[in-house]
């Protein structure tokens, strides 16, 4: 790979289901995904990270320790990628580390977002330069700090081209990432229309948490448990009434809003909710994810095709419900565009590291609402 320009991307989402590590070749500025896999969190650390997402006693000390522990786990993921491909630290231009989000509050009078996974530790242990802390620059510019993947989506998934003869064949596409939280990137065919992007609401976070609570599984594989239940229309209506869903974009959200505490409050609010079978709640949560996504897709005028990435793309029941809800608009996996759905977000943060090194703006004001575009992230040298 002597002519390669290799970057590693590290991503851990709100589901805390593992560390996605991607190896991206940016030779001549073109993105080529070499490899991507998920590296497991140590179980005790995953439990700690889940607990940090809710207020608790002594959480600052716990946060400080977890900050280093996440960096150590991320380092292990990097070493696993290097070993798999026979690479050394000197072969990698930089690591783009998203870190692990433990708080995201762009709605406060003093908005902030917090990702842990100390970049100094990561750079020192791996002996590779690190770019991290991507979200806070956008928030400092009045933006939501999320989503940040639309710039990468535009670079690798847009069907529009500078070739005027091909513009007529371009498609109005939406890329839907279904992680813990779901988000949309709108890629219009016309160069005159802006790229848009925003969080739609819950992706897997509620389904995963409910499944863990009632089945002791980390997630509902292929939606098999949900498929055994039925949608409770009254509960679905209550879930869909959340004010976030009707907010205009730019907007972003997280498990601070959509969590089991909120769900249990709804279930306790009416007697008939309290007697719902847990499997019916799971099926209703799947419907809630699908309907909240489609509610926002329907706001995109001229939408012609939808591509799904993230862990939700592996939930066959969810994909079937999404296709049904989208009516005649075809729904595919991003694998049809050349990138496996599990690889997209980690590859995006490798690309954002490349963008930082080459002074390319990583945010999109039309997406986040920031006052201007900016180079994102802080640089943490290994030396």
Give the pLDDT confidence of 8-32 residue by residue, as tens digits: 999 998 888 899 999 999 999 999 9
Cα-trace Rg, the chain: 20
The distance from CA 40 to its chain's CA centroid, rounded to whole angstroms, is: 17
Query: At 284, is the secondary structure helix, strand, or coil?
Result: helix
Structure tokens, 100? 């692990």
Q: Report the pLDDT value the prediction gives residue 166, as an integer from 0 to 100.
A: 42
* DSSP secondary structure letter of residue 195: P
pTM of the predicted model, to two decimals?
0.90
- Least trusted range by pLDDT, from 85-89, 265-269, 279-283: 265-269
CA distance 181 to 53: 14
Measure the CA–CA gap between 322 and 288, rounded to whole angstroms: 11
- Tokens standing for 256? 């601070």
Give the pLDDT confidence of 149-198 residue by residue, as tens digits. Answer: 999 999 999 876 544 444 446 789 999 999 999 999 999 998 889 999 99
C-beta of residue 335 within 8 angstroms of C-beta of residue 370: no
Out of 37-51, 148-162, 279-293, 307-321, least confident range: 148-162
pLDDT value, residue 2: 53
Contact 289, 219 (CB under 8 A): no
Structural domains in the chain plus CATH codes: 6-147+343-380 (3.30.420.40), 150-337 (3.30.420.40)
Q: For position 284, what pLDDT does the model report?
A: 98
How do residues 27-79 score in pLDDT, each as one tens digit? 999 999 999 999 999 999 999 998 887 777 778 899 999 999 999 999 999 99
Mean pLDDT, rounded, of the chain: 93
Which residue is listed with tokens 């005790």? 44
Q: Which pLDDT does position 272 carry in this prediction? A: 78
Give the number of C-alpha atoms closer than 13 A to the C-alpha of residue 116, restricted to the C-beta side.
Answer: 23
């Amino acid at each position: 790979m002597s002519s390669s320009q290799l970057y590693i991307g590290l991503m851990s989402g709100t589901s805390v289901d593992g560390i996605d590590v991607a190896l991206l070749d940016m030779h001549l500025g073109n993105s080529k995904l070499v490899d991507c896999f998920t590296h497991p969190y140590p179980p005790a650390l995953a439990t700690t990270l889940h607990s940090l997402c809710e207020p608790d006693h002594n959480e600052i000390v716990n946060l400080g320790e977890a900050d280093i522990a996440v960096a150590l786990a991320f380092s292990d993921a990097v070493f696993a990628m290097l070993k798999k491909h026979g690479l050394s630290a000197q072969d990698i231009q930089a690591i783009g580390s998203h870190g692990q989000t433990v708080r995201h509050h762009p709605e406060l009078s003093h908005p902030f977002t917090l990702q842990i996974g100390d970049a100094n530790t990561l750079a020192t242990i791996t002996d590779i330069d690190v770019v991290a802390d991507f979200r806070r620059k956008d928030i400092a510019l009045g933006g939501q700090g999320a989503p940040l993947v639309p710039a990468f989506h535009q670079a690798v998934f847009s069907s529009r081209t500078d070739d005027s003869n091909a513009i007529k064949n371009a498609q109005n596409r939406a890329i839907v990432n279904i992680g813990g939280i779901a988000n949309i990137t709108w890629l219009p065919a016309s160069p005159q229309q802006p790229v848009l992007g925003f969080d739609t609401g819950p992706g897997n976070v509620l389904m995963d948490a409910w499944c863990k609570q009632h089945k002791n599984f980390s997630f509902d594989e292929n939606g098999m448990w949900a498929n055994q239940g039925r949608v409770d229309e009254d509960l679905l209506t209550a879930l869909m009434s959340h004010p976030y869903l009707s907010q205009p974009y730019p907007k972003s959200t997280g498990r601070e809003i959509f969590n089991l505490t909120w769900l249990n409050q709804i279930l306790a609010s009416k007697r008939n909710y309290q007697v719902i079978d847990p499997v019916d709640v799971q099926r209703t949560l799947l419907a809630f994810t699908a309907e909240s996504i489609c509610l926002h897709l329907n706001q995109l005028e001229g939408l012609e095709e939808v591509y799904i990435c993230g862990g939700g793309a592996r939930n066959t029941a969810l994909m079937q419900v999404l296709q049904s809800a989208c009516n005649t608009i075809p729904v595919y996996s991003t694998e049809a565009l050349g990138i496996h759905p599990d690889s997209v977000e980690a590859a995006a943060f490798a690309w954002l590291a490349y963008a930082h090194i080459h002074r390319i703006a990583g945010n999109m004001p039309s997406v986040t609402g920031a006052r201007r575009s900016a180079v994102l992230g802080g640089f943490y040298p290994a030396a």
